[in-house]
Every structure is written in structure tokens, then in C-alpha cells.
Chain A
């Protein structure tokens, strides 16, 4: 528990969060480990958590029939994985797979949603941080869609 609190306190994602709120978060947190190749998230399943990745690399991907998995984005140590736990109906939209041994802290989504509902100050702090993450993903996705290296005269 000490270790969890310490790790979360030092995480840039939670920088500036007061101790009381941090303790609430720690109450929903647990250490998890995924082997290389193991799925962390499966499309369509209940989005019941998000992850602070501490070590390793995770690929967010989707499976296209006849084409196989298409990688959308990678997540590495220091980054956050997953935000569907925040948005009804709380289902994952993509797969996420560890491609190396990956250690993370999982935060229980249902637990955290309830706490946010009880304490809107905490809800605001969590929401504020996730909006930044979602905005970054959106911006990166737009850039990705522009296919900037494409050779427009030949392709």
C-alpha cells in the first residue's frame, strides 16, 4: 500500500493532487503484471479500469478481418492506458496487448466512478487530467490521419 501511494504521488499525471484525494485513489488501486503477448484490454468487454504503466510497452490495436491486427498507438512506462471507464456504457473500443513484460498500477473504474460521484472535487481533478489525455490523443490521431509522409503524387 505504501508503495502504491508513493508511486502514484510521484506520477506526473497526479501532480498537484491533494493527499486526501490521493488516498481515495489508492483505495481503488492495485499492482498488476502482464506477460509479453498478454491482452490487458479486449474490445467490447467492460471497461473496468485504467492503468499507470510502470514498465514495458503496450500496443493499442484493432483487428481487421483479412488484415490482422492494426496498431493504433503504443503506450510506454510513465503513460496512462485507457479512458473508456469514464464514458458510458463503459466498454473498451480497442484491444490492448503487452508486447513486453509490463508492470502497471490498475485503478478500478467502478470504484473510482463512485468516489468521483460522492466527491465532485475529486471528480473534477480526475476529469481535468483525463481531458488533457483525451485532447492529446485526439490531436495525435488527427495528425496520424493526415498521413503526412504519404506521397500524394504517387499514392
Chain B
């Protein structure tokens, strides 16, 4: 028997195939850190209108090599370009790093649920992040600053491994010079001339100025850092449903059809990557879930 509901779900096959990649051209490359780089992409010809929610990701394909999920890290207001910050950690990202300006990269997306932009109005916003976790949060920071008057205090707590590993230095300097955003940096290890904070980023939570009863906390970083971050936020009295975390799993299709990114009953690619902590607290700390 033929499938039911074909009419409802565009059974004519005319809808764009979500498995197809769109080649985009590298307009500019920024070498952020030793192993981290940002690609600025535009279509080789014609207009671009990249619309995305802060926190969403794209699948990026290096011709013939493979595809990886990378969060979007540009300003959502700048819809003519697509910005991705990537760290070289595997075969695909290594090949991606070798690409030059003018080369093409295949793109599918944007996919997934982003940060809760609809929940932050009139709230203090705490952005707690470590390492390259700043990349998926940068669009959110841009988003907040574009509509600055709608929010209470904005506190950015960022931790890096060493002073040399601090991502988006220029942005951080810019943000730190603003009076309407409080940015605190810390590093895990420092030598030499460093005069700033030393210690894990989670230790910044207890002394940062925000109202735990009227805030939304967005956490992005290595999973273990997020576990400690959640505990610190809870100690400050932040309720579970005010905490959002961005998860990372092995996303292969990006659209919930390949099974790889399952986290308990959820698919990180479509139910995440950003989750409300209250929704996944029962599975968040389960080993090898």
C-alpha cells in the first residue's frame, strides 16, 4: 500500500531535498588561533539572505572529504554573509583549514534549535562559556547588543585554557569597553605577563552581578564544564528552567534521520543543540547516554 498523507507532506517531491548541499565561496579567512579559524562565506554569484537563529548550526562539506556540523558564529543581522568558526580536530576540519579564499564549501542548514531569544526580554542575561564555546554564543551576543534596551544586565563569563587561547580578542575588547555589557575573562593556566583572572570559568559565577531570580543563563562549552556551570548557577539560585545549554553529538544528517546524535529520547540535531536544562536534567549526567 502506498504511503498515506502524501499530499500533506509534499509528496510530489518538489520540496528542496534537505540532503543536498549548496556550494558557497570563501570570501575571507581569519586565523583566530593556532588551530582555530573563521570562514566568511558568500554565494559565488547572486544575492544571499542567510537567516538563522543564534545557536543554530550548518552542515559544512569539504569537497570529496566529508561533512561536519559547525555552529554559525556571525552576526544574525548581517544576512549577506555566513560566518563559521572551526577548530581543527579531525579529517574534515583539517581539510577545511587548508581551503583558500575563492574555494568552495558545501553548506546545508541552518538546523536545530537555537538560544531562547524569545525568553530573554526584561531579563538579566548570563552568557557562560569556555574555549571555542564562545563561537556558538557570539551570534547571541550580537543579537542582544542590537536590541540592548530590551534586556537587563548582560554578563559574559568566558574562560580559556591560557591567555593565548582566548578567542575573538577584538570582539572581547570591544565588549569589555562597553558600559552595558560586563565581560569577565579567566584562564585555566597562565604564565608571564598575565594580570587577569586565573581559575576555571565556573568560579566566576558566584561573584558576577546578575539577578538569579530574573535571569536567563546560556552555557556553552565542553560538557564537563557545562555540568559544573549548571551546579554553580544552581548554587546562586538560578532555576533549572532558566538555564540553557548547547550540546554536541555526532550529527551526520542534521535533520533527525540518521540516528547518530541521539541523546536519550532526543535528537541533538533537531531537539537541540540548545536545550533548556530543565528538559534534559534527567539525562544530562547519565554516563554514555
A-binding residues in B (CB < 8 A): 35, 87-90, 130-132, 159-161, 165, 186-192, 194-200, 202-203, 207, 221-222, 224-225, 228
The prevalent SS among residues of A at the interface is mixed
State how many angstroms separate the Cβ of B154 from the closest Cβ of chain A. 20
CA distance A61 to B24 in the complex (A): 48
Q: List 19 A-B contacts (CB under 8 A).
A: A57-B195, A59-B195, A70-B189, A73-B199, A78-B207, A79-B207, A100-B195, A140-B199, A140-B202, A144-B189, A147-B161, A148-B130, A148-B188, A148-B225, A149-B130, A149-B222, A151-B87, A154-B35, A154-B88
Contact B228 A143 (CB under 8 A): yes
Report the Cα distance A113→B88, complex, angstroms: 54
CB distance from A18 to the nearest CB of B (A): 25
Determine if A59 and B198 form an interchain contact, defined as CB atoms under 8 angstroms apart: yes
The majority secondary structure among interface residues of chain B is: mixed
A139 to B228, CA, bound (A): 9
Determine the chain A residues whose CB is within 8 A of the CB of B194 once the complex forms.
71
Within 8 A of B (CB), among A122-155: 136, 139-140, 143-144, 146-151, 153-154
Question: Closest CB-CB distance, B160 to chain A, in whole Å?
Answer: 7
**Contact across chains for B188 and A144 when beta carbons are under 8 A apart:** yes
Give which listed residue, A57, A78, A79, A151, contacts B89 with CB less than 8 A: A151
A38 near B: Cβ within 8 Å? no
Chain A 58-102 against B: per-residue CB contact (8 Å), 1 yes, 0 no? 011000000111111110101100000000000000000001100
